[in-house]
Amino acid sequence: MNAKGVVVKAGHSAYPVYFDRFRRRLQPLLKGSNSVVVVSNPTVFALHGPAFIDEMLDNRRYAIEPILMGDGERFKSQRTVNRLYDHLLELHVNRHDAIIALGGGVVGDTAGFVAATYKRGIHFIQVPTTLLAMVDSSIGGKVGINHARGKNLVGAFYQPQAVLVNPDYLATLGQREMVEGTAEILKACFLSDRDYLRTAADLPLIYEKKDQRRFAEIIGRSIRFKARIVARDPYDSGLRQILNFGHTFGHAIEKVEGFRRYHHGEAVLAGMAAALYLSSAMKLLSKRDRNEGLRFLAQFVSHLKPLSRQADHYLAPMAVDKKRTGETVICVMLEGFGKPVVRAVRSRKQLLESIKFMIEFVDKKGAL
């Protein structure tokens, strides 16, 4: 376990990510609070809420107020935000009080948006409980909700005071969610280094206490990587774009397959196969490296559902992808492990070939 933690620097703020001694870390952060609001959902709260409150919080110092929102992407909404504002106002929560998000990315993004906007911003602490939230959504300060017209269309940059990462929460997480989180870890590996990729590809999809160290180590590395990028581009105005490796194809998969059939992390996993193929088709990446990368993806891809076989169906949504400018599709590709490049792709043929390859790769469960 990495006892030192990580410091995430973003713009004018810096905040710690802790991997241990959570109770001791939390108390100073909650010192001035009369109320501590724990935002969670019924699934996470039933599994971990009471233990979190008993072990991490102190009801002699402040009132502890759990508020549950619905479980699922559709609850990352203005309606939920309004309900949360109503609760906070009823509880007379003020700017010295704190919101703790206990849950995955949906809870973290929504509670973070409420924390950013309620009374112009109140203290906010993230306690991510999914692998994806630990390595990705709780880091970097993007908070927000969905709109009827699309995902994450309303939001803010709002850094938490701290993030507490306890891999033990992963013991209750489903395999599908473990695959999704692993996809984001693999993405960070592709963008940073090959050795790290080898370690990540060995991660089990079922968490057991004995694996705590391994998970803490790889989660820590992923967070450090994202923190480095966020520090250089806190408001997502350039470099942070590389974190979209696999995402241009991934977003198209989510749209074609539907958000329920294909979750975000699953779509990114398949999307990275397409991005590797395209990188080598565009002569940026050697075939050898491409195949090595694909082999790392294979065992995780074997858990995915088959994709629709109509390659051009995926191309249409890519054309309206927010990363598209003019007549080109902007893709993050690799020139090698740890060497991402962002390129405008104009060749419809190369895009279609990459999509066809991805469909086959998923269909053959990652066999080359």
Residue ranges that bind ligand NAD, judged by CB under 6 A: 41, 43-44, 47, 71, 73, 76, 103-107, 109, 129-130, 132-133, 136-137, 140, 142, 151-152, 169, 172-173, 177, 180, 264
3-state secondary structure of 342: strand
What is the SS3 string spanning 267-330? HHHHHHHHHHHHHHHCCCCCHHHHHHHHHHHHHHHCCCCCCCCCHHHHHHHHHCCCCCECCEEE
Measured from the CB of residue 366, what is the shortest distance to ligand NAD in angstroms? 22
Residue 347 CB, shortest distance to ligand NAD, in Å, is: 29
Residue 333: both structure tokens together:
């590709």
Minimum CB distance to ligand NAD smaller for 55 or for 90: 55
Neighbours of 328 (CB within 10 A): 14
Q: What is the rounded CA–CA span in Å between residue 329 and residue 228?
A: 26
Q: Which residues pair with 67 in a beta bridge?
A: 39
Helix axes 247-257, 311-319, angle to 10 degrees: 110
Report the residue number, 20 or 73, with the smaller CB distance to ligand NAD.
73
Instruction: Give me the residue whose beta carbon is nearest to ligand NAD.
Output: 105
Nearest residue (CB) to ligand NAD, 152 versus 328: 152
Q: Minimum Å distance from CB 111 to ligand NAD?
A: 11
On whether the CB atoms of residues 177 and 130 are closer than 8 A, the answer is yes
Contact 334, 340 (CB under 8 A): yes
Whichever of 241 and 347 has its CB closer to ligand NAD, that residue is: 241
Buried b (16+ CB within 10 A) or exposed e, 35-58: bbbbbbbebbbebbbeebbeebbe
> C-beta of 35: minimal distance to ligand NAD in Å?
24
For ligand NAD, the closer CB: 68 or 329: 68
Minimum CB separation from ligand NAD for residue 31, in Å? 27
Closer CB to ligand NAD, 61 or 147, in the complex: 147
Q: Which residue number, 111 or 281, has a Cβ lying nearer to ligand NAD?
A: 111
Please state the closest distance from residue 112 (CB atom) to ligand NAD, in A: 7
DSSP 37-52: EEEE-HHHHHHHHHHH
Q: List for the chain the helix, strand, coil content (%; round to 5).
A: 50, 20, 30
The CB-of-326 to ligand NAD minimum distance in angstroms stands at 26
